[in-house]
A and B are shown apart, each in its own frame.
Chain A
Amino acid sequence: MGDFSPQPFTKPGGVSMKNNIRVERAIKNITQADLAEQVGVSRQTINTIESNKYVPSTVLALKIARVFNKPLEEIFMLEEGD
Chain B
Amino acid sequence: MKNHFLFPYWTRYLGWGLVVLHVPLSMLGRSHGMINIMDPQPRDQGIFAGEHLFFISTTLIMSAGLFLVAFAKEKIEDEQIWQIRLDSLRWAIFINYLVLIISLVFIEDVPHMLELNLWVPLIFFIIRFRWVIFRLNRSLSREG
Contact = CB atoms under 8 A, between A and B. Distances in A.
Nearest to B136: A44
A48 B80 contact: yes
Q: How large is the interface on B (under 10, 10 to 19, 20 to 34, 35 or more residues)?
A: 20 to 34
Nearest to A49: B80
A interface: dominant SS? loop
A41 B139 contact: no
Nearest to A54: B80
Taking chain B's interface residues, is the majority helix, strand, or loop, or is none over half, making it mixed?
helix
Contacts, number: 42
B81 A42 contact: yes
A42 B128 contact: no
B143 interface: yes
A47 interface: yes
B133 to A, nearest CB: 8
A77 interface: no
B140 interface: yes
Nearest to B95: A1
A72 B80 CA distance: 20
B80 A43 contact: no
B122 to A, nearest CB: 17
List 5 tightest A-B contacts by C-beta distance, closest first.
A41-B78, A42-B76, A45-B80, A44-B136, A47-B140
Interface of B: 75-76, 78-81, 83-84, 87, 91, 128, 131-133, 135-137, 139-140, 143
